[in-house]
Chain A
């Protein structure tokens, strides 16, 4: 168990820096998710912490020890790969215990530990099999068992669930989370799936183009996105963005839409200022036409999501969607009104994309 400190990390391929001066500190016992679109540097970052990728500049410390120049095996970290990376020529039991056997741990000491992790992950019936005779989910559990049995200081997961089907992904996600609650080992988990990140993380590190766009708890990331990029990346259905102009009395106007904003949250707004409004479909619902902050639009499409439905409407030529449980009463072509509370409106600077929230 250990905290991780990355200071001023630089990674270049040739002359091209993919990560340029990144600082990151992860406290002990925390479950951190690196989230971001592909190519944002999250996997590279993880592989540098693992020691599989050389660091061009900067230092990495794990548990107070500078591991920047250590080979992967000496860092006290264990990694679970997206492809599972099981050893095809070894049985499941040999796969799991290889690391311990290599370190010269005695057979009598390995046996109970193997039993313990195999029990925990439900692998006991498969210990004599070869990896290729297991299903994807079982293979991933073997990979997790192989990482766990070494009782590492840090767990690293590199998109471990991407190759599994949706249902299994959900199940294993819960198992990984439970495992962390039990073992409390510092964990870094890389994914491009925002829902996976939201459900599993203590803290999310949202990356973009080799830089940290925002770091915070899932609630912070969801409710107070620091930028247009974060707001757009997190949340399904995706946030609606509308260009608007501030008018006197803290009102944002865009065509027929006029939304009154919260002066407490956005104290710095001045009339005439161009802004970008961010409206989460999930924070809006059907409302009376004269309700505060009501927006009127023509229904284009209704998407049934089971308990709720996404209604896509056309407002002044642009599409705005919202989510409502009463979607079954809404028909395409109708005019509907929907509204949201002022404190649920996000406002971004259209130039920089940063949030204009003052507090």
Chain B
């Protein structure tokens, strides 16, 4: 009996936590499909005539469309380069760097210590001088600091978990250090590396401050979404909600794709 009660209580608590966590998201999604008068009504409406007007406004708005495109380009390029440079660096740190390995790792982490606000203003000046202010290239460049250091920091433990014996067994079969990395360490560590990449992606996708200071015309989606509040005289709640949904979808899709990939690789491993 006591077990039933505690189980029911636990489930009730869990349900409450889910409502607390997902409630705002649900409300945002609902709001994205509401007319403004359905949103601002004093009595919240759960049943309403859904409309796609908000999404139409957003996708017809060139600023938002460009923002989405810019975000896509900047984030995917910086994450891709971050992974291509960061993952081999992490493997080298985990396996081959004996003398200065810890120092290098600390340096990498220390790149994340500084608040972006501290570097934003000097970066504006430097970028203006270099002529890369308000360019996608400039944003990619500054995001690479984040992506490379985050990928390295999260991938080192992933490679440390690869059993050393496996790499040694591969070396016994005549594999060069690069072959060992490419054909053994990388596939074995892949599940953890996916996690590192997803985390890095979300980190830069949501980045607002540097994007706000280093770009004007070529703004990314968080900047655009933040500026929507000033689109008209009355606050366009429906459009803001729709913009939020659009902002959230790409990382969700990305994570979903990676999870799928992960599951298939685990599944095939089970065969």
A residues neighboring B (CB under 8 Å):
50-52, 71-74, 77-79, 81-89, 98-99, 102-103, 128-130, 132-133, 146, 150
Contact = CB atoms under 8 A, between A and B. Distances in A.
B50 interface: no
The binding surface of chain A is classed by DSSP as: loop
Nearest to A152: B172
Interface in B157-193: 163, 165-166, 168-175, 184, 187-188
A73 B170 CA distance: 9
B173 A89 contact: no
Contacts of A129: 271
Contact of B171 (A52, A86, A128, A150): A52
A159 to B, nearest CB: 12
Nearest to B170: A87
B270 interface: yes
Contacts of B271: 128-130
Contact of A85 (B165, B174, B175, B187): B165
Contact of A79 (B172, B188, B270): B172
Contacts of B184: 87
Contacts of A79: 168-169, 172
Given A88-B269, A130-B271, A132-B269, A102 B175 contact: yes
B163 A85 contact: yes
Nearest to A143: B169
18 contacts: A50-B172, A51-B171, A72-B171, A72-B172, A73-B172, A74-B174, A77-B172, A78-B172, A79-B169, A79-B172, A81-B168, A82-B165, A85-B168, A87-B170, A88-B269, A102-B173, A103-B174, A130-B271
Nearest to B265: A89
Contacts of A133: 270
Nearest to A73: B174
Nearest to A79: B172
Given A83-B163, A83-B165, A89 B174 contact: no
B163 A73 contact: no
B137 to A, nearest CB: 37
